[in-house]
Amino acid sequence: MSQTADVIVWGLGGMGSAVAWRLARAGARVLGFDQFGPVHDRGSSHGETRIIRKAYFEHPHYVPLLQRAYQLWAELEAETQRTLFLRSGLFIAGGPECEAVRGTRQAAADHGLPLERLTPAEARREFPAFRFEDRDEVVFEADAGYLLVEECVRAQLEVAARHQADLRFETPLRDWQVVPGGVRVRTATDEFHAPRLVVTAGPWAAGLFPGLRVVRKPAFWFPLEAAAGAAGRDAAFFFDLPAGQFYGFPSRDGATFKVAEHTGGEPVADPHRVDRQLAPRDLAVMRGFLEERRPGAGCEPTGHSVCLYTLSADQHFVLDRHPTDAGVVVGAGFSGHGFKFTPVVGEVLADLALRGATPLPIDFLGWSRFRSAV
């Protein structure tokens, strides 16, 4: 058994690549493992785009974390000379008092964030591809947009490696054990030891910790309507409707646009065995949304991608030290909204691993909120 690192990172997807970056940049010796190759499409960090926004309806306490994430995305873009964040703006629409619009307004008010309120008539003028009802509430956040998900993971891995992180792919980890002086992990052939272990296993975390469940989430590319782009703003969108929450992106190729449902999802027992074909039900739900809200779009998808959400019981993240295993730090349960946070999650988990605490406000994301924590 060899002690080759200060910190071992278990999983190098969205979160783990960020952890490796922030640890290595802080001067720690990092040894990271992933069961697959870099930037793969079998977990939760693929499919071209991810929404990023700051006026966060899910919980206003996320806003300070997002403010730090925005700084770190800019740092990563500068350091890698890559475009990662496209500030297209984002509108959120729904019926009166829907959770998404109400919570977005609350978060913006609590944190003094700029947010435009549009009447349905203004929304129709600004976003003519969409149908808005007279009773809809609509808000627009200009400082929102989307991230190029694979580029982001690639960039995080690149800077981690540039800061001397030792990143090993196609190397599944089997288990960990707390041992004197730290934690030991095992691959099929070797053992490694370090004072700290950070576990960022994405959907595979559900097999390591209780209280997490995985659901299958298809995303679709549909043909743009013929008149698209003729007028109006091309923003990211989010509808909070009685039928579910649906979101999508501006076209990246001028011919299609991506759309998906945030709510729902079929349970997945084993992330290694996921049905990646489209089922008739997947399409029926999406066509129902498009007919209701984007009626000019083509109704046959030109492509799709199947991804996995890892849901915690309250759909908030778990960022904490392991409750019983000293030396183990966990980032899990990102519940389908974690990607925009990856660099700040990396920073938080690096702080927890190196110092045992972080100045960033994460008290609301600890294990202790679940009575049946591990």
Ligand X SMILES: Cc1cc2nc3c(=O)[nH]c(=O)nc-3n(C[C@H](O)[C@H](O)[C@H](O)COP(=O)(O)OP(=O)(O)OC[C@H]3O[C@@H](n4cnc5c(N)ncnc54)[C@H](O)[C@@H]3O)c2cc1C
Catalog residues that contact ligand X under the rule CB under 6 A.
10-16, 33-36, 43-45, 47, 50-51, 172-173, 200-204, 217, 219, 260, 307-309, 334, 336-340
Select 73 or 132, whichever has its Cβ closest to ligand X. 73
Select 133 or 170, whichever has its Cβ closest to ligand X. 170
Whether 340 is a known active-site residue: answer yes
Select 327 or 346, whichever has its Cβ closest to ligand X. 346
With CA atoms as reference, report the closest residue to 293 among 46, 128, 61. Answer: 128
Whether 262 is a known active-site residue: answer yes
Whether 59 is a known active-site residue: answer no
Closest residue to bound ligand X by CB: 13
With CA atoms as reference, report the closest residue to 18 among 252, 202, 185. Answer: 202
Query: Shortest gap between Cβ of 51 and ligand X (angstroms)?
Result: 3
Whether 152 is a known active-site residue: answer no
With CA atoms as reference, report the closest residue to 220 among 289, 142, 125, 130. Answer: 289
Query: Shortest gap between Cβ of 30 and ligand X (angstroms)?
Result: 14
Catalytic residue (one of 50, 193, 217, 321): 50
Catalytic residue (one of 105, 258, 304, 316): 258
Amino acid residing at 314? D
Q: In degrees rounded to 5, what are phi and psi of residue 272?
A: -75, -20
Query: Shortest gap between Cβ of 269 and ligand X (angstroms)?
Result: 16
Query: Shortest gap between Cβ of 135 and ligand X (angstroms)?
Result: 26
Query: Shortest gap between Cβ of 227 and ligand X (angstroms)?
Result: 26
Locate 104 and state its tokens. Answer: 């977005």
CA separation (Å) from 288 to 137, 260, 292?
Answer: 21, 12, 6
Residues in CB range of 297: below 8 A, 6 or more apart: 129, 222, 223, 224, 225, 257, 290
DSSP 282: H
Whether 342 is a known active-site residue: answer no
Select 32 or 182, whichever has its Cβ closest to ligand X. 32
Query: 285: phi > 0 → left, psi -120 to 50 → alpha, else beta; which?
Result: alpha
Q: In degrees rounded to 5, what are phi and psi of residue 184?
A: -115, 135
Select 122 or 150, whichever has its Cβ closest to ligand X. 150
User: What are the catalytic residues?
Assistant: 46, 49-50, 258, 262, 307, 340
